Chain A
Amino acid sequence: MNGRIRAALISLAAPVLAITFSIVVTSLILVATGDPLGLTWQTVIEVGLRPRSIAQILNLGTIYYLSALAVAIGFRMNLFNIGVDGQYRVAAFAAAMVAGNLSLPFPLSIVLAVIVAGLTGGLWAGIAGYLKVKRGVNEVISTIMLNAIATGLVAFLLRQFGEARGNDITTPVIAEGSRAPGIDLIPGSTEPVNSLIVLAILAGITYWVVLNRTRFGFRLRATGRSQGAAVASGIDVKRMVIISMLLSGGMAGMVGLPLVFGESYSYGLTFPGGLGFTGIAVALLGRNHPIGVAFGALLFAYLEVAANPLQIVADVSPEIITIMQGVIVLAVVISYELVRRYRVRDEQQRVARALAAGEAIETTGSPGEPTPPREPERTSA
């Protein structure tokens, strides 16, 4: 078989294997608890393909995509930013506060929001970066703590500067003219697609260009692959840690914007949390590649949207989908590892055969993919 096709098939095998495995596990759980198997899957597929659902999937996918990109920036450098959750909440609060008070017209309001949210999210993540570089605090622990602190801080600020609306306390409602308009992208859908999907696409392109086509991106990836080699070639790793934490946090700041400008038009105590953790799962699923992550985000959004009517239609608790998401993440990383081992063995056997036959060894690896990317390994604190 041609080496390049073979390599492509093998790398496709991992996600397919993982999704199949998770479907099997989920089905087993459904059977074991006596829930209707056929009806559940039928609902998931039917509901997911309705026009309205597709619009919802795109809207939710936008948010997951931004969150996953924020995590991916850290991953590429072996930094584990678990704090996307706190960062987007602080940033969304700041952006909603500014937009609610200033009432700028539409495109301008978004530009300002991107700047405010980017700066706030970046600074919040920067605390973790500073602590890592200056005080040697592991970023996993500091960002977990900062998540909890963000919850308290934002709640406090809301009580100080927000306004009461029903049981909720929110920032001032964003004026009609400042909101992000919906686009009727999906024919037959009653729900429009949030125009901030453009922001996600731009973010994806920027992510790819910066990482793959700039000197900074090269340094970032080099530090992620081998810190020792990076130091030896003159890269200031401490500076890289600070900058990539700022960038990761800045990207995290974008996560809340589609919700603030397209759905709730304010930031309140009931603003959805936990999107940062979904981002981690999606980034892993898409292997930190902008296109792969987009597929991951859409898959997770699809599952989420399709799960909503399960309770009504099939009397199945929609949390079955959370189980499925968890299994997918675990299965994906395991199958990537299995595929990697298979590849190594495959390569070794080919070399051995070639050597035994006395032939000259020709390199068969495709140029685009010299080595299979490794899982991010933890840098020691």
Chain B
Amino acid sequence: MSAPGVQVGTERVPETTSRRRMLPRVLLAIAGLLFLLSLVRVITGANDIASAGTISATLGLAVPIAMAGLGGLWAERAGVVNIGLEGMMILGTFGAGWAGYQWGAWAGVITGLLLGGVGGLIHAIATVTFGVDHIVSGVAINILGLGATQYLAAVAFEGVPGGGSTQSPSVPDLPAVTVPGVADGLGTIADKQWFFISDVAAALRALTNNVSVLTIIAVVLIIGTYLILWRTAFGLRLRSCGENPAAAETLGVNVYKYKYIAVLVSGSMAGLGGAFLAIVASSSYRDGQTGGRGFIGLAAMIFGNWRPGGLAAGAGLFGYTDALRLRSGGTSVHALLLVLVFLMVVIAAWQIYRRQPLIRPVITGGFAALILVWFLLTDVVPADFTGMTPYVATLLVLALASQRLRMPAADGLVYRRGEAG
């Protein structure tokens, strides 16, 4: 066998083993997190940090972020940075509101998806065909998406009963799924406030009770994205455009076509996230509904190292901090400080174990001590700070781990056909 073939083989071996280990690892991580949360819950008495209500709110808040992140993932895996996700998402909320109140929720979902796709198409034309800087085009699309939506909303919803220039009439809800016979039993266990067992029950209850169809679709899309991009020839070609478009072109891959497909899917995903906001999270289009979730989705994707599983975890984290803020605000986030202290102690221990320079565990430990002092001296975290939590978390994660992250090699670079020469 030739050398490259051997390399492919050696690469494949560790990946299959890691895949086999992945599910237990993920389950272990989730269990560990739940354990930590229930420990903190028992210590602080902040019962809401692991309640079924919080977890189902987390799910609802995480879905739009995950959809935006998934949009970012598709585009960036093909080498196109998409900072216009926010604008595409806004288009999605409008599409969902406009079609939703007239022809039902599903029409709203489809229209939101399509309008997001239109935003993606503009981005693709600008960046792929005309070779415009990706960030510049994205910024323009954010301006355009917002302006177009506000203008069209004034045209479409003014004078309609229940609507106005900043709001659409209400949209019928999508069906929700409940696994029969499970919810009540789990609810009883969750209410007992037993250590750990109640928390597991609460989590299971949230995942089986009254889950929107669109949430399920979102989960399917995340898994589907992984399968398409990493397990098919199509996905390999698409990713090759993000890693080394010149090499891809010499192998006969139509780079422009794949980039177009990727950015179109990207916009559609963001549009779907917008539709979720308009139909499931609330029941109509409202001006300013996205609230920067397109940007947070982008952050979740980077947080997740340009991988679907990682971005789902990132979206979950942001959804969770958001849920705490909305439900009980200061007290829960205050309890979260203790979680942070525990995590930092674990990190410091790991740093000592790995024999890293002594200064690092000292710094980590110092921060842990400071946060512990903050925790002990106060009862609540001010409301303005709780709103900052997802952003601070992202910045911290990036500051601590960005050297470990690896983005697609040709991400954000303008590619002109024929450069392969």
Contact = CB atoms under 8 A, between A and B. Distances in A.
Interface stretch (A2-10, A42-50, A183-191, A277-285): A277-285
B122 interface: yes
Contact of A376 (B126, B133, B400): B133
Interface in A239-271: none
Given A152-B384, A156-B385, A333-B126, A141 B302 contact: yes
B78 interface: no
Contacts of A281: 139-140, 143
B118 interface: no
A80 B135 contact: yes
B260 interface: no
B352 interface: no
Nearest to B396: A145
A198 B146 CA distance: 33
Contacts of B382: 156, 159
A153 interface: yes
A371 to B, nearest CB: 16
* Chain B contact patch, size range: 35 or more
6 contacts: A33-B151, A34-B155, A136-B403, A153-B388, A334-B132, A377-B412
Nearest to A330: B140
Given A149-B392, A156-B384, A317-B151, A327 B142 contact: no
B137 A333 contact: yes
Contacts of B145: 326
B147 interface: yes
A284 B382 CA distance: 39
Given A149-B388, A376-B133, 15 more contacts: A131-B395, A131-B399, A137-B398, A144-B299, A145-B395, A148-B391, A152-B385, A319-B147, A320-B151, A322-B146, A322-B147, A323-B148, A326-B148, A330-B132, A380-B412
Interface string B269-284: 0000000000000000
Given A141-B299, A149-B395, A381 B402 contact: yes
A375 B133 contact: yes
A148 B382 CA distance: 16
A329 interface: yes
A135 B399 contact: yes
B81 interface: yes
Contact of A325 (B132, B147, B405, B413): B147
A381 B400 CA distance: 14
A90 B81 CA distance: 28
A299 interface: no
Nearest to B134: A378
B133 A142 contact: no
A324 B140 CA distance: 11
Interface string B141-162: 1111111101110110000000
Contacts of B395: 131, 137, 142, 145-146, 149
Nearest to B125: A334
Given A146-B395, A334-B130, A377-B414, A329 B136 contact: yes
Which of B135, B143, B292 has its CB near the most chain A CB atoms (within 10 A)? B143
A141 B392 contact: no
B139 A280 contact: yes
A300 B400 CA distance: 40
B333 to A, nearest CB: 12
Give me the 7 closest cross-chain CB pairs, A-B, nearest first: A322-B147, A326-B144, A317-B154, A152-B388, A326-B143, A156-B384, A319-B150
A153 B144 contact: no
Interface in A326-381: 326-327, 329-330, 333-334, 337-338, 375-378, 380-381
B394 A145 contact: yes
